[in-house]
Structure 1
Amino acid sequence: MANIISSKIADFIIRFPPFDKVAREEIIRLSEEAEVLYFKKGQLVFQQKEKAKPFIYFLKEGEILLNENRDKKKVLIDACDEGELFGVRAMLTGNPYVFEAFCQEESLVYAFPLSIFKPILESNKDLSLFFAAGLASGQKPSGFQAIYQQNKEAGGADFLSWQRPVEELSEPLICVKPTVSIEEAAREITAKSSNALIVKDEQGKAVGIVTDTDFRAKVGGGIALISDPITKIMSIQLISKELGLPLAEYVISMLKQNVKHLLITKNEEVYGIFSQQSLFSQLQLNPFSILYSIEAADSLEKLCSYRNEVASFLKYYLQQNLKISVLSQLITTINDALIKKAIKFAIAALEEEKYLKPDVDFAWISLGSEGREEQLLQTDQDNAIIFGEVDAAQLNYTREYFIQLGRRVNDTLHQAGFEYCPANMMAGNPDWCLTISEWEKRFQGWIRTPEKQALLMATIFFDYRYIYGDQGLVERLDKHLKTEIKSNRIFLNYLAKNATQNPAPLSFFKNLIVERSGAHKEDFDLKGRALMPLADIARVLCLEAGNITIKNTVERYLFLAQQDKSRKEVFIDAVQAYELLQHFRASEGIRNDDSGRFIPIKEISKFDRQVLRNAFEPIYALQQMIELKFQLNYFN
């Protein structure tokens, strides 16, 4: 009889997420140990603040309400329907229950022992992802990250574990004194089969680094003689990192700084050298190879073809569950290299066509998702140009030159797979190719007269990020923006109001709200209803806190979590939700060969629907928070 009951339990639960992702034999083992509990209408399965029981609960029949007792009132948090889990947070953290589980009607509940359930959870990637999305009726377990990380690190042997701390180095550490000759140093580096050495002064302080490239380029190129001291060919720009950081930090630093070697320290003492050579044997679809191919491209055709390799790179690492914040930084670095190379090609082409380059500095800035370092897929481009002040007589020619430059770069990016902006918010548009004083006036107008169109412009342009040219122009715009917002605080109320205008992702009955007309009828707008609200709220809160330099949404929420400890939990929840939604959008975009913005609801599984539904929880919490913070109920 026991076998028949457990078999029926298994047949039932395997129909529902996350059990539909679990092997049949594990479902059977779990079902054999399950307790079947019956509750009358009005009974409690557990009470708020009650010590956690060694079970996770699954609702077979009936309805369970999760209530929170606040100021002697019961506040409905969620309603569990057939096939849903509850008691998750207490299960993962060991803390008391944060809600009470009240039986709204007669209910039949399966109680699965944690002694059986947890080992299955820890060994199953899909099961961990389910809880990493903050599932089981909106209870966001603070302990899921460790479990999720274990699964990622236990992945295939061909996958580089980006979050694994680097605790030792394979490169031998070679240190020489400044007086050593180039010839002596070359012999030592050859004897130890290394490709770099450190130059230390008499006090033992690292003062320079010499790589195999330095020997080839500077000695072979006739810049130095082999009898010269090693200091003649050393680089003094040392980029150092402490030992023990996640591998991803070393990779991103090397990409951003465009170097092949990092100086590694331990307790502030030189420990060794970390080089790309140690990565090449581990990485598939190496980001360095794509980056260097772009930088070395000698034609637009090659430049664009190299950038197109990123689609394969993105697909591979999404499948390997590489952390989205790491992946977005890698792709941003590659995109930035593409833009810089496209600008250089455009300047050279204009010169060939006898366009005289104006004697004035300029800066190229990226806007929107690229400005926030969040453009994983090749969606549309948003960019602009800032150039310095010139005499009135030179202004028209100068502007025309930079417009032509902008259009050529826009065309190159389009050729590389980035669509033209439908609203023409691109550097080749005269409206977005302005002098620094014109940009200051434009920003000032949006802030002082925050009409609907001005607020739309602010949400796009206030995420600007320096890419190329004179960074001083961008820093001047930063100071101006900060001063204007500080002097016109009412603008933040308008911006906050605007951040709450996107319709809720879910209906009252927790169904995903889909488009009712147009080309995407019956599709869910993942960008408009989920990602944009989170990005908009992060922006207004950071501007309110006086931080205009952080543009990335995840980094903004992490900054806010540090600044406001009382709301730290909701900001961390927002980080997790945003990364998960970005991952989902990128995966769908690759699968459907589009931007991933509109999701065909009929084509996604119940598991994915539930992942999405529960990732929306921070949106509601944040919208309620800013409504109170900016008193939006009294603000029209």
Structure 2
Amino acid sequence: MTNSIAIRIADFLGKYPPFSLLDDVQLNSIAQEVRVSYFEQGKAIFLKDEKVHDLFYIVHKGAVDLQKVKENGEPETIDKCDEGDVFGLRPLFAKENYQINAITDEESIVYAIPIEHFKPLATSNANVGNFLIESFASNTRNPYSSEHRGKLFDDQDEISFKQEALFDLQPVAVVKKMITVSKDTSLKKAATLMSKKRVGSVIVVEDKKPVGIVTDVDFREYVGTGIFGIETPVEKVMTSPVICYSKGITLAQAQLTMMKHKINHICITKDGTPNTKVKGIVSEHDIMVSQGNNPSVLMKAINRASSTPKLNRIQSKVLYLLEGYMKNNIPVTHVSKIIFELNDATIKRTIVRCIDKMDAPPPCNFAWMSLGSQGRKEQLLHTDQDNAIVFEDVPEDKLEETRAYFLKLAKRVTKRLNIIGFEFCPAEMMARNPKYCLSLSEWKQQFTTWITSSGMDDILLCQIFFDFDITYGDVKLTNAISDHIFKTLKENKLFLNRLAVQALRNPSPLGFFRQFLVEEGGEKKDLFDIKKRGIMPLTDAARLLILEHRVKNISNTAERFEKLAQLEPNNKELYLACAYSSKVLLKFRTRQGLKYKSNGRFINLEDLSKEDKVKLKRCFKTIKEVQELIKIRFETAYHS
């Protein structure tokens, strides 16, 4: 007889990772063993120091608070589990007592899953194991903190990469238009095909499976020396067996394989063995060509570029580099730093070339400031350019003449950046706008006005200017602006209160029944705005809180939260969770942008896996909690 309860349980579990990563047979076998438990509000599922159960749990309905017990014995909620959230798993693998409490926040139905039935699946299924390492490595709010990373199975440390090493982790471009021949094909015919197609090898196949390879080296070694005649079958000279890999082999893997086996071609098959259909080929020449996407090579090319079209072509390679990093799941912290440096160098090179083409050198010292995502070192995709110029104070009678020079320079620079791929800012927040091409004294006065007398609309407009980074010019000018900002802020707490109200204008993007809030009309109808509803709330929160502490020279959102974790140990877990969430959301946007050749802002939720949706929901929990902190700290109810 069919167990209808087990079927319903399997249907539910299949919606959420890691269970969604199991096949139907595995899922049904787990569902058969699940124990269903009902808990009233306020009941303990387990308590700190309690001996670990032989079960772990997933919330079916209701909510469960995970609580850390403070030194004074008072419980503090560090995470809230709702529908589909798993808890109580790490202690089972770590073989330790519970380190936290699990208390129901409301009436709840919880599924209890025996570890003896689940653990074999976790250890044998790579996808399940990887997900658990990422998602459930701790029972804290921030399951991805370095303190707990990887403790499910081992003590892996977070890998640290050099920029050159990151390049080696890119996938090799596979040539799909290869030539295949049968064993009895003559060397003459094979050579004719290679010459006609301008390729350096032919793959010998049997039932479409690779059994050998003949390269131009073989023709030199065996035919050119007279060992074999041109009518000899290729079988006599082919190299066999063929070294095979599946699609996705990295540059490092390919290079090491060629060195190890003393070959210059690798065959690509469906499963990476000679037992499946051949899909393409990688040659030593292909790898040499790929070297052009090494970040150090690209940096040299940028610094030597003598025209805007050349910079445009280099930027296309930068995007290819970015795509390789995303495919190989390189940590976004490392990726951001490399892409920022390449973008920054591109802007700098553009400025230098434009100065060289001006009728005269700059009349005084100046600095080009990058604002917004580039100023925060978060501009992975080509989005709007936001920039400004600050120039040295000059005599009053020279002010407008000096400004005219820099406006002319800015128009040339922004035009060329637009050609390269950095679109014009729709709001004209660019250095070519006279409002944002100011002397040092004018900038100081502008920030004083914003901080001391801004209304809500002004604050919405000006807050991007608190995320600036110098790209070119005199750093003393930008440092002077920073010093002035923090001196003025010290005496004007009201500005921070108003900034706090603006930081709350985009609340947590989950609506009733924990569904994503999507656009309701227009061409973006039913799409999710990840910038407005995900990235901006964290960006705004980080800016506000770092300004409150008057910390200079940290503009990156994740780095701001990591600094805040040091400054406020009592909120460390929350801030580290915010840092992590900002990286996750940036990665989501980047992947969407690369996939659809866009700025990645609007996401079709149907394209996301259940696992991705769960990850996003976890990020949005963090947004809600940091916004709650802001509401209390800045008393926003009195200033809205």
SS, match of residue 101 in structure 2:
coil
**Counterpart selection for 1:599 from 596, 603, 606:** 603
Residue 18 of structure 1 is matched in structure 2 by: 18
Residue 585 of structure 1 is matched in structure 2 by: 589
Residue 386 of structure 1 is matched in structure 2 by: 390
Residue 304 of structure 2 is matched in structure 1 by: 296
Cα deviation for residue 579 of structure 1 reads 0.8
SS, match of residue 360 in structure 1:
coil
SS, match of residue 308 in structure 1:
helix
Cα deviation for residue 147 of structure 1 reads 5.9
Deviations 1:307-334 (A, max 9, x none): 1211111111011111111111101100
Distance 1:289 1:34, change over 3 A: farther
Residue 46 of structure 1 is matched in structure 2 by: 45
- Percent identity, aligned pairs only, is 33
Distance 1:469 1:529, change over 3 A: same
Distance 1:133 1:371, change over 3 A: farther
Residue 326 of structure 2 is matched in structure 1 by: 318
Cα deviation for residue 597 of structure 1 reads 1.0
| Maintained 8 Å contact 1:364/1:469 | yes
Cα deviation for residue 303 of structure 1 reads 1.5
Residue 364 of structure 1 is matched in structure 2 by: 368
**Counterpart selection for 2:508 from 499, 504, 522:** 504
- Letter of the 2:46 partner, please give it: Q
Residue 55 of structure 2 is matched in structure 1 by: 55
Residue 524 of structure 2 is matched in structure 1 by: 520
User: Is residue 2:98 matched to residue 1:100?
Assistant: no
Q: What CA distance in whole angstroms lies between the structure 1 residues aligned with 2:599 and 2:92?
A: 37
Q: What CA distance in whole angstroms lies between the structure 1 residues aligned with 2:564 and 2:105?
A: 35
Residue 330 of structure 1 is matched in structure 2 by: 338
SS, match of residue 400 in structure 1:
helix
Q: What CA distance in whole angstroms lies between the structure 1 residues aligned with 2:89 and 2:512?
A: 23
Distance 1:106 1:624, change over 3 A: closer
| Maintained 8 Å contact 1:40/1:103 | no
Residue 145 of structure 1 is matched in structure 2 by: 149
| Maintained 8 Å contact 1:80/1:137 | no
Cα deviation for residue 442 of structure 1 reads 0.5
Cα deviation for residue 162 of structure 1 reads 9.3
- Letter of the 1:47 partner, please give it: F
| Residues 447-462 of structure 1: pairs in structure 2 closer than 5 A | 447-462=451-466
Cα deviation for residue 120 of structure 1 reads 4.8
Please identify, of 456-465 and 137-146, the stretch whose mean Cα deviation from structure 2 is larger. 137-146
Cα deviation for residue 381 of structure 1 reads 0.4
Deviations 1:511-554 (A, max 9, x none): 01111122212111111111111111111111111112211111
Report how many residues are paired. Answer: 508
- Letter of the 1:482 partner, please give it: F
**Counterpart selection for 1:37 from 35, 38, 41:** 35
User: TM-score scaled to structure 2, two decimals?
Assistant: 0.71
| Maintained 8 Å contact 2:507/2:537 | no
Q: What CA distance in whole angstroms lies between the structure 2 residues aligned with 1:604 and 1:593?
A: 17
Deviations 1:557-614 (A, max 9, x none): 1111111111111011111111111111100111111111111223323322222111
Q: What CA distance in whole angstroms lies between the structure 2 residues aligned with 1:507 and 1:133?
A: 28
| Residues 468-479 of structure 1: pairs in structure 2 closer than 5 A | 468-479=472-483
Residue 352 of structure 2 is matched in structure 1 by: 344
SS, match of residue 379 in structure 2:
coil
User: Is residue 2:319 matched to residue 1:308?
Assistant: no
Residue 541 of structure 2 is matched in structure 1 by: 537
Deviations 1:181-231 (A, max 9, x none): xxxxxxxxxxxxxxxxxxxxxxxxxxxxxxxxxxxxxxxxxxxxxxxxxxx
Please identify, of 413-422 and 108-117, the stretch whose mean Cα deviation from structure 2 is larger. 108-117
Q: What CA distance in whole angstroms lies between the structure 2 residues aligned with 1:89 and 1:634?
A: 43
Q: What CA distance in whole angstroms lies between the structure 2 residues aligned with 1:51 and 1:391?
A: 77
SS, match of residue 590 in structure 1:
helix
- Letter of the 2:472 partner, please give it: Y
- Letter of the 1:116 partner, please give it: P
Residue 86 of structure 1 is matched in structure 2 by: 87
Distance 1:48 1:458, change over 3 A: farther
Distance 1:575 1:68, change over 3 A: closer
SS, match of residue 512 in structure 2:
coil
Q: What CA distance in whole angstroms lies between the structure 1 residues aligned with 2:103 and 2:136?
A: 22
Distance 1:619 1:538, change over 3 A: same
User: TM-score scaled to structure 1, two decimals?
Assistant: 0.71
- Letter of the 1:550 partner, please give it: I
Deviations 1:122-166 (A, max 9, x none): 7657524761799x9978465652369989989xxxx947999xx
Distance 1:290 1:54, change over 3 A: farther
Cα deviation for residue 80 of structure 1 reads 3.9
Residue 64 of structure 2 is matched in structure 1 by: 66
Report the RMSD for the aligned CA atoms in angstroms.
Answer: 3.9
Deviations 1:229-252 (A, max 9, x none): xxxxxxxxxxxxxxxxxxxxxxxx
Q: What CA distance in whole angstroms lies between the structure 2 residues aligned with 1:425 and 1:347?
A: 21
- Letter of the 1:315 partner, please give it: E
User: Is residue 2:566 matched to residue 1:562?
Assistant: yes
Q: What CA distance in whole angstroms lies between the structure 2 residues aligned with 1:576 and 1:510?
A: 21
| Maintained 8 Å contact 2:631/2:637 | yes
Q: What CA distance in whole angstroms lies between the structure 1 residues aligned with 2:304 and 2:378?
A: 25
**Counterpart selection for 1:112 from 103, 111, 115:** 115
Distance 1:627 1:31, change over 3 A: same
Deviations 1:436-483 (A, max 9, x none): 111111101000012123212332001111111111111111111111
SS, match of residue 614 in structure 2:
helix
| Maintained 8 Å contact 1:56/1:88 | yes
| Maintained 8 Å contact 1:45/1:102 | no
Distance 1:151 1:612, change over 3 A: farther
Q: What CA distance in whole angstroms lies between the structure 2 residues aligned with 1:323 and 1:109?
A: 34
- Letter of the 1:285 partner, please give it: N
Distance 1:51 1:416, change over 3 A: farther
Q: What CA distance in whole angstroms lies between the structure 1 residues aligned with 2:464 and 2:109?
A: 51
- Letter of the 1:299 partner, please give it: S
| Maintained 8 Å contact 1:89/1:97 | no
Cα deviation for residue 298 of structure 1 reads 1.4
SS, match of residue 113 in structure 2:
strand
Residue segments in structure 2 that go unaligned for 5+ positions in a row: 170-287
Residue 205 of structure 2 is matched in structure 1 by: none
Residue segments in structure 1 that go unaligned for 5+ positions in a row: 165-279
- Letter of the 1:604 partner, please give it: L
Residue 576 of structure 1 is matched in structure 2 by: 580
Cα deviation for residue 358 of structure 1 reads 4.2
Distance 1:108 1:488, change over 3 A: closer
| Maintained 8 Å contact 2:508/2:621 | no
| Maintained 8 Å contact 2:134/2:150 | no
Distance 1:322 1:23, change over 3 A: farther
Q: What CA distance in whole angstroms lies between the structure 2 residues aligned with 1:381 and 1:51?
A: 56
SS, match of residue 63 in structure 2:
strand
Distance 1:125 1:13, change over 3 A: same
- Letter of the 1:508 partner, please give it: F
| Maintained 8 Å contact 1:48/1:68 | no
User: Is residue 2:637 matched to residue 1:633?
Assistant: yes
SS, match of residue 444 in structure 2:
helix
Q: What CA distance in whole angstroms lies between the structure 2 residues aligned with 1:425 and 1:465?
A: 15
SS, match of residue 145 in structure 1:
coil
Q: What CA distance in whole angstroms lies between the structure 2 residues aligned with 1:40 and 1:76?
A: 23
Cα deviation for residue 627 of structure 1 reads 1.4
SS, match of residue 628 in structure 2:
helix
Please identify, of 404-413 and 115-124, the stretch whose mean Cα deviation from structure 2 is larger. 115-124
| Maintained 8 Å contact 2:376/2:555 | yes
Q: What CA distance in whole angstroms lies between the structure 1 residues aligned with 2:304 and 2:55?
A: 59
| Maintained 8 Å contact 1:557/1:574 | yes
